Amino acid sequence: IRLRKLVDERENLIEQVKRLKDQLEKKKPKNGEDSSSPDGDVQENGADSNMDLQRDAGRQINDLKFKIVKSEQEITALEQNVTRLEGQVSRYKSGCENAEKVEDELKAEKRKLQRELRSALDKIEELEASNSHLSKRMEKIKAVRGTATTP
């Protein structure tokens, strides 16, 4: 948006320079006609005002040229900023994509580890139940042997 404004301003300034040059060119032939007038005082006043107009027009042209150069420099700087920022955006996008890929891999790994944990916990529970059952059987066998040897 800012770049567009600068381009529009530059075009307006160029247009204004052209108009001022055209006005200056139109006044030059008129001044030539004035110089052929028989009255010398009018010619001097016309020449003075003409010189003032030319100086003013020249000053305006120089100011506008300076503004054009300054605008072009600013446009160049903004274009460089745009290029730099586009590079940053592409780097951030690739970083983001890599982070999302790593995140997906970590989620898959977490699911796998949770399945393994559930499986291990189930196995532990099963082994504890089996151990408890075997311990009870062993106590029964000891009790039966103990009662058989004590008569």
Return the top range by mean pLDDT from 20-29, 72-81, 142-151. 72-81
Lowest average pLDDT, out of 24-33, 58-67, 95-104, goes to 24-33
Q: How far apart are the first and last CA of the chain?
A: 107
pLDDT greater at residue 3 or residue 116: 116
| Entry pTM | 0.47
Considering the domain boundaries, does residue 123 fall inside one? no
Determine, yes or no, domain membership for 136: no
Is residue 95, in this structure, part of any structural domain at all?
Answer: yes
Assess if residue 129 is contained within a domain. Answer: no
Return the structure tokens found at 115.
């399945």
User: Per-residue pLDDT averaged across 109-119, rounded?
Assistant: 98
Q: Check if the beta carbon of residue 38 is closer than 8 Å to that of residue 99.
A: no
Contacts of 17 (CB under 8 A, 6+ apart): 61, 64, 65, 68
Closest by alpha carbon to 74, among 129, 123, 6?
6
Would 126 be classed as within a structural domain? no
Does residue 113 or residue 67 have the better pLDDT?
A: 113
Q: Does residue 132 form part of some domain?
A: no
What residue type is assigned to position 71 of the chain? S
CB 29 within 8 A of CB 14: no
Which residue segment(s) compose the domain that 7 sits in?
A: 2-111
Query: What's the total number of domains in the chain?
Result: 1
Q: Whole-angstrom Cα distance, residue 85 to residue 126?
A: 60
